[in-house]
Structure 1
Amino acid sequence: MQNTVVSTDSRFSLALKDIREGIHSWPIWSTLAWQDIRQRYRRSVLGPLWITLTMIVTIAGMGPLYAALFRVDAHEFIPYLALGIISWGLISMLILEGCATFSGADTLIRSVRLPMTMHAFRMIGRNVVIYLHNWVAYVPFMIYLGITPTWTWLMVLPGLLIVVIASIPVAIILGLFCARFRDMQPIVGSVVQLAFFLTPIFWKPEALGTRVAFAKYNPLFMLVDLLRGPILGYIPGANVYIGVGIITVALYAVAIPMFVRYRQRIAFWV
């Protein structure tokens, strides 16, 4: 029993050390994140603008169509849809690429001794940069609809910080599962695709009528609301922040024991 306790304490201290080193190695993972973006679009003429142009075309096509189908004002619906797609782009990619947190860095993990948490920070940093860049897709609609920034827009910053904090345990949990069980990644992809249609991205929660709670208490919708609400002119209610806080604590309660126990096995799994 004593040996087990000592071993557990040792694993826990090593995991804490890994987290500290991962945070302190921000110059490394930020550089690697930037290199990932450059590598992805190395032979592309427009680079990341391809994603932005795709979003613009999607919003321009879906906006008037769904506004007519739902019989709502297009000037009100198009910003809702545009911000939903941009916000969902960040959240969905944090989940999907979280599956490859460790397996996608297999060569680096095998060849260089670096903190494992650094790979999660690298993935998150990469997607935050892409999210900020995708804001360009909203500019044409701002100009066309005559939208001007307000002070509530600043609330996007704490909302983005909350999303980033919540995405760290997600990257660790999915990264461990998908490194150990490779079939998990396509399953997660299918679930995320289904979640897109079940989450109020291009439809409003009020469309469910008396069942509106099913949409408003959707964890993914709460995260989207943190990023979309301030730009639409309102600050999400306290229930959104409390709900996201509870979910984040639950994710850390799962991720920390998993990371402590399986951190040393990642190099063998990838």
Structure 2
Amino acid sequence: MTSAAPASDSRSFGRAFADLRSGFKQTELWGHLAWQDIKQRYRRSVLGPLWITISMGITALGLGLLYSQLFGASVGTFLPYITTGFIVWHFLLGCLTEGTDTFISNEGLIKHLPAPLSVYVLRTVWRQSIMFAHNMIIYFVVIAIFWGDITTPNYTMTDGGMPHPGLNWEALLAIPGFALLALNAGWVVLLFGIASTRFRDIPQVVSSLINLLFFMTPIVWTTDILKDRFGDTADWRDWIAELNPLYHFIQIVRAPLIGNTTSWHHYAIVGGITVVGWALALVVMRNYRARVSYWV
């Protein structure tokens, strides 16, 4: 009887929530670890973390110019669209791919440092948030260059496409939008991180699906382009985007930042995914939190 009680206690939602509370309180620990990750990645580099910004800028510029010509879109509106989409995608991609490796890569600390598991989750999310902030420099540069195009009321991404209100004070909606992204990043890293310690095939599966997810998500193309190519009879064009959860996550940040029409159904879908995702993550954490140190 005495040995059953602790085992039952360790698999409780109380312990799971206590782990999360304890992790959030150790701000200095996971904040320092995240910053050290970035410094270590660019050790002995002249520009250091600025390479994050430079690489993002080159990618966005090259693909923006290429796809604007392929789709016959205006560079002044299409380049900000692609740039912002890439910045948000890079954050989502980092949380997903590095999230699967969160506990595996921290094996040494987990076995020797008595810290909550949530510390390593927050370390990953905060690291990606720092990189997101670096990449936002590119956004401000692009917006400054194409300010006249992106602030024009009722501008369109393509000829005959949906008119958009133009960049205005609704850009501030990107702040709560990113907060939702970070909140979802927490459960993604926690859920996939624990699952990957037990099933080491998960990181490879995620990596193999990344390219498909990228091209299936409206990042370098828009739903207006599908309409132009296939006409009004192609009702499935909307479902390609709408059934893709990543599209809604990108839109709650990208749309206000470039003055696109902000649809509240994106927030509703992301909110629903947030609730379901955290519920699944807490169940997994409740049942398997104590086993992670053995699995890694």
Q: Is this a same-fold pair by TM over 0.5?
A: yes
Corresponding residue of 1:223:
249
| Equivalent residue, structure 2, for 1:34 | 35
The CA distance in 1 between the partners of 2:5 and 2:107, in whole Å, is: 31
SS at match of 1:236: coil
CA distance in 2, matches of 1:240, 1:105: 35
CA change 1:235–1:125 in 2 (3 A) is farther
Contact 2:52-2:134 within 8 A present in 1 as well: no
Match of 2:86 in 1: 85
CA distance in 2, matches of 1:146, 1:249: 37
Q: What's the counterpart of residue 262 of structure 1? A: 288
Q: 1:116: how far off?
A: 0.5
The residue that corresponds to 1:248 in the other structure is 274
8 Å contact kept, 2:10–2:290: no
CA distance in 1, matches of 2:190, 2:89: 20
Q: Secondary structure at the match of 1:122?
A: helix
| 2:67 is the alignment partner of 1:66 | yes
How far apart, CA to CA, are the structure 2 residues paired with 1:193 and 1:27?
35
The residue identity in structure 2 corresponding to 1:207 is I
Please give the per-residue CA displacement for 1:148-204, whole angstroms capped at 9, x wherever unaligned: 774222111101110111111111111011111222112111112210111000000
- Indicate the residue corresponding to 1:116 in structure 2: 117
Flag the 1:197–1:164 CA change in 2: closer, same or farther, 3 A: same
Q: Which residue does the alignment assign to 1:184?
A: 202
SS in structure 1 opposite 2:47?
Answer: coil
Residues of 1 paired with 2:92 and 2:223: CA distance?
Answer: 19
Q: Which amino acid in structure 2 is aligned with residue 57 of structure 1?
A: I
Higher-Rg member (1/2): 2
Does the CA-based 8 Å contact 1:152-1:235 persist in structure 2? no
Is the aligned partner of 1:153 residue 2:171?
yes
Q: Distance in 2 between matches of 1:70 and 1:4?
A: 65
Counterpart check, 1:173 vs 2:199: no
Q: CA RMSD in A?
A: 2.1
Match of 2:156 in 1: none
Change (3 A) 1:206 1:9: farther
Q: Using structure 1 for the length normalisation, give the TM-score.
A: 0.93
- CA shift digits 1:231-264 (9 cap, x unpaired): 1114631210110011111111211111011101
Query: What is the count of residue pairs matched by the alignment?
Result: 270
Question: What residue in structure 2 maps to residue 44 of structure 1?
Answer: 45
Aligned to 1:143: 144
Structure 1 pair 236–146 and aligned structure 2 pair: CA distance change class (3 A): closer
Alpha-carbon offset, residue 5 of structure 1: 8.6
Larger helix percent: 1
Contact 2:171 2:257 in 1 (8 A): yes
The 3 A distance-change label for structure 1 pair 234 and 66 is closer
Q: Is the 8 A contact 1:98 1:174 kept in 2?
A: yes
Partner of 2:103: 102
Percent identity, please. Answer: 36
Structure-2-length-normalised TM-score = 0.85
Question: Structure 1 residues 118, 235: CA separation in 2 closer, same or farther (over 3 Å shift)?
Answer: farther
Shift of 1:142: 2.4
